[in-house]
Homo-oligomer: A and B are copies of this chain.
Amino acid sequence: MTAKDEQLGGAERIVRSALCVGVGSLFLAFTPPASVTPEGWRVLAIFVAVITAFILRPFPMGPVVLFGVIACAATGSLDLDQALSGYGEKVVWLVVSAFLLAGAVRDSGLGRRAALMLVRKFGRSTLGVAYAQAAAELLLGPLVPSNTARGGGILAPISDSLSRALGSEPGVSSEKAGTFLTLVGAHCNLVTAAMFLTGMAANPLFATTAREVYGVAMDDWTTWALAMIVPGLVSLALLPLFLYFLVRPTITDGRPAQALAQSELERLGPWTRAEKILAFIFAGMIFLWSLKAWGPLVGIELKPDTTMVALLGVCACLIANVQPWKRMTHDAATWDTLIWLGGLLTMATALKDLGVIDAFANRANGLFDGTPMLITLIGLALVYFYSMYAFSMLTAHITAMASVFLAIALAAGAPGMLAVPLFAAFSNLCACTTNYSTGPVILYFGLGHVSAGTWFRVGFLVSLLHMAVWIPVGLLWWRLLGWW
């Protein structure tokens, strides 16, 4: 989910910037509701300008958030201390740590090796290759927090090679396997993004928003994973088959892909020291992260903090010299994410603290009286999901919509541990709708195996599958957990 540095001409940049400032300024023309302080209203205006800038993109995401934070401080809406406080937040450092670890997975070749091993194992048929892709996403989901890095950086190039190994060339013979495998890769990426707090860079932002609006704690690794494991696995199990029927590959024998995986693995040679240590470190991290879930069953009451575990992982990588410090400090995507995530958190917190979110919730209060809660909630979730058509970035969608929709759901009386996991999942799954929704989708689409028309048509059908899976299975599972 790194911001893309678009090449804009000076004039176009100025026009777009002016539009963003204009949209934000519009808000200042209105009188704020009584419960909102003037400072809160100014932060809201700046926040709206920031979201507009996410859509119009006069600048990449990092600078836009930085401008927003500085504007909050310069207008006296926030103290500078408050404005910078997001950069000391635990969730920000969870994401920073996870990005640094993802760099180690990428640089060591561990992610690539894992994917190739799965293809070698399960790739006898084209459908098997697709399930190997899904399994690779599931394996890497907890480890590589940027879905762009995971899908676009590690798995999309492998998906492309596998298609070509099956004789499928982009645009020429995509129907052989390329269209199918590309769509499997892209859509499975979004499911694993939904399944783990560290599956997508903006998930912690959603979790923090949920804690602020609802007071619900989905911001630890275990609770999130527990919420998503059942609907996520059902979703991953059905998706390749569903797509198999939608865009059936004309090649069904996967053995050339299997052979490619085999030869690539031979080229990689035996596991390196770095790969072995990394696998061990990740096993340790997942052990510690999941301790909260199974520890009490065996009498262990230790509940290590999610961020703490990730930071220990980073330290372990440094101590074992798996990833040198120099590489980490050169990892531009990490520092870009630090800037935008920290700044967005600051603004989200300020909107809550200054009464803006409560004002929205109050406005929505009573709006759905008489409608059964579940109907209202599902209706809201559907609008939240399909509003993604208007966004070109998952983070922008979450930033703009999550707090408002959660506030309305709260006002409609939806229990927190029902509404929050549902919106959390939809925050990621909604990217199935378009071919420009998030980094890996753009990258998979860019491989050229799928036409834009097909992408939109299949994307819509996949969205229906998500509804058919996540709403019943999710609701049932969260009920079984006693969450609502």
Does A253 count as interface, using CB distance less than 8 angstroms? no
Contact of A88 with B85 in the complex, beta carbons under 8 Å: yes
Contact of A5 with B325 in the complex, beta carbons under 8 Å: yes
Does A289 count as interface, using CB distance less than 8 angstroms? no
A416: shortest Cβ distance to chain B, in Å?
23
Interface residues of A in 3-46 (CB under 8 A from B): 3, 5, 10, 13, 17
Task: Please indicate the chain B residues that have their CB under 8 angstroms from the CB of A319 in the complex.
Answer: 17, 59, 67
A1: shortest Cβ distance to chain B, in Å?
14
Does A314 count as interface, using CB distance less than 8 angstroms? yes
Interface 1/0s, chain A 285-322, versus B by CB < 8 A? 00000000000000000000101100110110011010
Contact of A326 with B5 in the complex, beta carbons under 8 Å: yes
Contact of B308 with A80 in the complex, beta carbons under 8 Å: yes
**Complex CA–CA separation, A318 to B65 (angstroms):** 12
Does A86 count as interface, using CB distance less than 8 angstroms? yes
Does A335 count as interface, using CB distance less than 8 angstroms? yes
A50: shortest Cβ distance to chain B, in Å?
13
Contact of A325 with B62 in the complex, beta carbons under 8 Å: yes
Does A55 count as interface, using CB distance less than 8 angstroms? no
Contact of B90 with A88 in the complex, beta carbons under 8 Å: no
Does A371 count as interface, using CB distance less than 8 angstroms? no
Contact of A62 with B312 in the complex, beta carbons under 8 Å: no
Q: Is the interface of A mostly helix, strand, loop or mixed?
A: helix
Copies of the polypeptide in the assembly: 2
Does A266 count as interface, using CB distance less than 8 angstroms? no
Interface 1/0s, chain A 54-93, versus B by CB < 8 A? 0000011011001100100110000011001111111001
Contact of A73 with B5 in the complex, beta carbons under 8 Å: no
Contact of B5 with A315 in the complex, beta carbons under 8 Å: no
Interface 1/0s, chain A 324-362, versus B by CB < 8 A? 111011101111100100000000000000000000000
Interface residue from B93, B318, B329, B333 paired with A59 (Cβ < 8 Å): B318
Task: Please indicate the chain B residues that have their CB under 8 angstroms from the CB of A333 in the complex.
Answer: 329
**Complex CA–CA separation, A332 to B325 (angstroms):** 10
Interface residue from B329, B332, B334, B336 paired with A62 (Cβ < 8 Å): B329
**Complex CA–CA separation, A315 to B70 (angstroms):** 8
Most buried by B among A81, A85, A86, A332: A332
A residues contacting B by CB (< 8 A) are 3, 5, 10, 13, 17, 59-60, 62-63, 66-67, 70, 73-74, 80-81, 84-90, 93, 305, 307-308, 311-312, 314-315, 318-319, 321, 324-326, 328-330, 332-336, 339
